[in-house]
Structure 1
Amino acid sequence: MATAERVLEGSKDASFAKRDKPLYYLDMNAVSPKLIRSMRDLFEAAGNNVRFLDGAVIGSAPSLKDEQADSSELEAWKRPGIPMSGPVKLADAEPSGSHLANVLGARHISDEIGAASGLKMSFAALTKGFTGLAIQSFTTAHRLGVLPELQQHLQQYSPKTFDMANASMPRMPPKAYRWVREMEEINATLAEDGGFEDQESIFSGIAKTYELVAHGTDLGQEKTESRNRGKTAEDVALLISEGIDRRKQKMD
């Protein structure tokens, strides 16, 4: 919201009124449709020459499919999904909106502000939400002394769950601090747009789980480019368990 407010303030400058083409403002943060709609309302109330677009990033950061590939070719890149929504389209922006939309791999999914951000929230509820559940499950099993048994039974009876948990938990630590707010935004989405009441949503609890990881365990010191701990699901569970023990000692 702060960035939108700064752009809005800048658009009040006399020089901005001289623009012969509108400014396109695209918000791609992981926030609730309610917050996105409030941003739109700010720009609409100002009545200036700004076109507001709702967007999202779904998937991993861009990467070359092959190290030997020509990086100047779009087809050489694996790109995240970029859904967009709103009454205007990025491809219609002049002079190069069409080119930018093509480079991003953007797809306009709806004329409604809130659709793209809502899609992102629904997607992250399953992916990052699952990781939060896995954290609680694995840590509890560790503290009970049955984590190896849990792993064995998952591998035997639910191998896809086994694969997801063991892949997602080690990737999580450097991002946990950012996911706190995202879980809160998912919680807001489920309430405002999904119609679920507070006691029916699990995401306020998952937000607290990521807050514990980020600020109450050694995992909070991990950086994506320099990993030392938490590189396996077992080590993640161990370190979170240690953090829980320290928290209990402080409370005693």
Structure 2
Amino acid sequence: MAPTTPRAAVGIVSIGDMGLGIAKLLQAHGYEVLTTTVGRSPSTHARATSAGITVLPSDVALVEKADYILSIVPPRDAVQTANRIIDAWSAASSRAASTPLYFLDLNAIAPSTARSIDAALKSRAPSIRFVDGGIIGSPPKLLDESQSQPPPDNVDAELDASLSNWKRPSIPVSGPHPLSDATPSGPHLAAVLNIKHLNAEIGPASGLKASFAALTKGFYALALQSYTTAAQLGVLPELQAQLSAAFPATRAAADRGVVGMQHKAYRWEGEMREIGETFKTEGGWVGDGVIFDGIAEVYRTVAEETALGTPGGRKEGVEDVVDELVRGLRKGGA
């Protein structure tokens, strides 16, 4: 049961699908969730208010009231968002010095980008404690409450029972400021968000996220190229049949990725470029080994050359997605 007094105030920038899911998870476990929708669309504002999220009038108000701020934005906006928080911190006037603000960057960025954000914070807002992180998985979702456990007899068991009713992503983090040392409610917040602290360095958490996403979203891009090429040769059904016979799990993953990526492609373009930077800077891959700029181009094509990412343009079936992407490829090559 959520406490009457909030455990802590958690700001989320911004309230997209993932941000909204995390907000609901936090609210269910006693946290006040804050955001600001300055510069955002009316639909974003409506999404936040309808979920019971406190919408503050400015970034300054957010940093004055929040104990933690989670940055969950498209990769291309990660640095700008951090700079917004730094600027707001510099302008804030009513924050207690005894309660440091934790800034968790949970975006799909390269370790080098995370280190640049950390350097900016140390230079311009050294009181803010930076946490490098990433989100692996889909937004939190409440499962069937009818399958909840019997009432527990201690606090830890109560939390475990409550969390068992939620499907949650994994959130690896790294850096010198583990939430286990944070106040207020740092250890509890880490448990609720399914956070695992890897080590004291900035970079490993965002690098883990990049390495994981390369194998999932990178694969989906290969599936898009494979399926659209096979379709234009008239052999897509045969390709799918061969996959089903030899590698049924691969066929299922490809189909799921082709359909599921439509409204995410605009975000994934930037993420693929961050993965490319990760593999180059951290992994030593250079020259022709830098392949993720090409994979980013696949998602750029989906986002900019088709209507698949628009509210009325999303398709339900694999073949319909492929047909729309083929039209976009032909238009782009005309």
Aligned to 1:191: 280
* Cα offset, 1:117, TM superposition: 0.4
Task: Tell me the CA shift for residue 95 of structure 1.
Answer: 1.5
Provide the residue aligned with 1:147 in structure 2: 236
Which residue matches 2:146? 68
Structure 1 residue aligned with 2:60: none
Deviation at 1:48, TM superposition (A): 2.5
C-alpha separation between the residues in 2 aligned to 1:163 and 1:15?
54
1:228 Cα deviation after fit: 5.9
Q: CA deviation at 1:8?
A: 1.8
Shift of residue 33, structure 1, vs aligned partner: 0.4
Letter in 2 for 1:114: G
Q: How many equivalent pairs are there?
A: 245
CA positional deviation for 1:12 = 2.9
Whether the aligned pair in 1 keeps the contact of 2:86 and 2:125 (CA below 8 Å) is: no
Structure (1/2) with the larger helix percentage? 1
Q: Which residue of 2 aligns with 1:215?
A: 304
What is aligned with 1:59?
Answer: 137
Please tell me whether the aligned partners of residues 121 and 186 of structure 1 are also in contact (alpha carbons under 8 angstroms): yes
Q: CA 1:137/1:95 → structure 2, altered by over 3 Å: closer, same or farther? A: same
User: Looking at both structures, which has the greater relative contact order when contacts are Cα pairs under 8 Å and sequence separation is at least 6?
Assistant: 1
Is the counterpart of residue 119 in structure 1 residue 208 in structure 2?
yes
Change (3 A) 1:246 1:66: same
**Structure 1 vs Structure 2 CA RMSD:** 2.0
CA contact (8 A) 1:165 1:233 kept: no
Instruction: Tell me the residue number matched to 1:236.
Output: 321
Is residue 2:253 matched to residue 1:164? yes
The two structures have a TM-score, normalised by structure 1, of 0.91
Corresponding residue for residue 15 of structure 1: 93
Secondary structure of 1:112 counterpart? coil
Letter in 2 for 1:197: V
* Kept in 2: contact 1:11–1:48 (CA 8 A): no
Matched-pair contact (CA < 8 Å) for 1:171–1:231? no
Question: Structure 2: how far apart are the matches of 1:21 and 1:170?
Answer: 45
1:162 and 1:10 map into 2 onto residues whose CA distance is: 48
CA distance in 1, matches of 2:220, 2:230: 15
Unaligned runs of 5+ in 1: none
Counterpart for residue 40 of structure 1: 118
Residue 230 of structure 1: how far off its partner (Å): 2.7
Deviation digits for residues 17-37 of structure 1 (CA, Å, limit 9, x no counterpart)? 751122111110111100000
Residue 232 of structure 1 and its aligned partner are, at CA, apart by 2.1
Q: Secondary structure at the match of 1:110?
A: coil
Q: How much has 1:131 moved relative to structure 2? A: 0.2
- SS for the counterpart of 2:196 is strand
Q: CA deviation at 1:13?
A: 4.3
Aligned to 1:245: 330
1:172-204 superposed Cα distances (whole Å, 9 cap, x missing partner): 101111111001111111111111014212211
C-alpha distance in structure 1 between counterparts of 2:112 and 2:221, whole Å: 24
Instruction: Report the CA distance shift for 1:248/1:15 in structure 2 as closer, same or farther (over 3 A).
Output: closer
1:162 deviates by 0.7
Aligned mates of 1:33, 1:229 — CA distance in 2: 33
Which stretch shows the higher mean deviation, 6-15 or 128-137? 6-15
Q: Is the Cα contact below 8 Å between 2:110 and 2:277 reproduced in 1? A: yes
> AA paired with 2:278?
T
Q: Which runs of 5+ in 2 are unaligned?
A: 1-78, 149-158
The residue aligned with 2:21 is none
- The code of the aligned residue for 1:22 comes to P
Query: Once structures 1 and 2 are overlaid, which stretch shifts more, 23-32 or 194-203?
Result: 194-203
Name the % identity. 46
Residues 101-126 of structure 1, C-alpha deviation per residue, up to 9 Å, x if partnerless? Answer: 11111110111110110000000000
**1:222-247 CA deviation, whole Å, 9 max, x = no partner?**
x4xxx764322222211111111222
Equivalence for 1:110: 199
Moved more, 196-205 or 16-25: 16-25
SS at match of 2:284: coil
Q: What is the SS of the residue equivalent to 1:53? A: strand
Cα distance in structure 2, aligned partners of 1:6 and 1:95: 24
Offset at 1:206?
Answer: 1.1
Task: Tell me the distance in 1 between the aligned counterparts of 2:325 and 2:134.
Answer: 31
- Of 91, 102, 107 in structure 2, the residue corresponding to residue 29 of structure 1 is 107
One-letter code aligned to 1:238? D
Where 1:220 maps in the other structure, the secondary structure is coil
Q: Is the 8 A contact 1:177 1:210 kept in 2?
A: yes
The answer as to 2:184 corresponding to 1:78 is no
Letter in 2 for 1:8: I
